[in-house]
Amino acid sequence: MKRILLLAFAIAGAAPAAAQPAPTSPLDGQWRGTSDGGSCNAPLDFVLTIENGFVDGSAYDTTAHGPVPNLKKAPAPAPTPGLWQIHGVAKPSGPFSLVSVASVKAADRRQGKMTAQSDGRGLVISETTGCRRTARLSR
């Protein structure tokens, strides 16, 4: 039995190795900030986590409103998205792309695109679609 195990380890490339440390990115960490209102006059509060270069986070629009009572008996306006999910892969130098998806109900799927870039000790995120807001985030 011992010979079979030794042979298996030899074929696999020697003795079992310890866990390898995960690669890191200089942008890793928690990022927070608020955008300007853009053309929609609706600022977003950003909370992003970058881990090993992978971006995951959200942005919240505090001015978003859901359906309200309609006193004129007309069709109600669609609710505006209040929460955006943000994903992407960070690059330590140069701009990188992010995708945002609104948390809304039914078939009203809304998505947007953003670019981000390291700016000294901060991170600048700009919407390339939609309201064209710009946010400056810090750790």
Considering the domain boundaries, does residue 30 fall inside one? yes
Whether residue 5 lies inside any domain: the answer is no
pLDDT tens profile 12-70: 554 445 565 566 788 999 999 999 988 888 899 999 999 999 999 999 887 776 666 66
Average pLDDT over residues 105-117: 82
Q: Does any domain span residue 94? A: yes
- The model carries a pTM of 0.70
Contact 85, 61 (CB under 8 A): no
| Residue 1 belongs to some domain of the structure | no
Q: Is residue 111 a part of any domain in this protein?
A: yes
Amino acid at site 49: T
Residue 117 pLDDT greater than 80, yes or no: yes
Q: Is position 73 within any domain? A: no
Work out how many domains the chain is built from and give that number: 1
What single DSSP character describes residue 99? E
| Backbone φ, ψ for residue 16 (5° rounding) | -60, 135
Within-domain flag for 87: yes
Picking from 22, 23, 39, 3, the residue whose alpha carbon sits closest to that of residue 133 is 39
Secondary structure letter of residue 7 according to DSSP: H
Q: Report the pLDDT value the prediction gives residue 15, as an integer from 0 to 100.
A: 47
Domain extent at residue 109: 22-63+79-138
Is the residue at 17 inside a domain? no
Measured CA angle at 35 (ends 29, 38), to 5 deg: 150
